[in-house]
């Protein structure tokens, strides 16, 4: 598996599990790399850190829920946040 495929697979994993807020260690395991190497590789390919990428997905999901009429608390929990 090349680096592009590895990062693409992790991005799909992050999107599918964003509500669980996976840790760097979990993402690195999905990529089959050490956390340090994964962080460097992801940042080089995606242009942002894994944490920043996850935060962007989480924010977009929370905004969509709020637009659809969800309460602040409900949107926060559904997006995987610990509170409003």
Q: Residues 6 or more apart from 5 whose CB is under 8 A from it?
A: none
For residue 80, give the 3-state DSSP assignment.
coil
- Computed over every residue of the chain, the mean pLDDT equals 91
Instruction: Supply the pLDDT for residue 19.
Output: 85
pLDDT of 7 over the 80 cut: yes
For residue 49, give the nearest of 78, 4, 81, 14 by alpha carbon.
14
pLDDT in tens, 27-67: 999 999 999 999 999 999 999 999 999 999 988 988 998 99
pLDDT band at 23 (very low <50, low <70, confident <90, very high): very high
Alpha helices in the chain (DSSP H): 3-16, 24-31, 35-46, 50-67, 72-78
């Amino acid at each position: 598996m090349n680096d592009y495929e590895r990062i693409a697979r992790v991005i799909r994993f992050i999107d599918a599990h964003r509500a669980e807020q996976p840790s760097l260690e979990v993402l690195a395991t999905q990529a089959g790399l050490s956390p340090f190497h994964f962080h460097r590789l992801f940042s080089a390919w995606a242009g942002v850190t894994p944490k920043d990428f996850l935060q962007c997905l989480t924010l977009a999901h929370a905004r969509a829920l709020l637009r659809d009429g969800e309460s602040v608390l409900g949107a926060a929990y559904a997006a995987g946040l610990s509170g409003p």
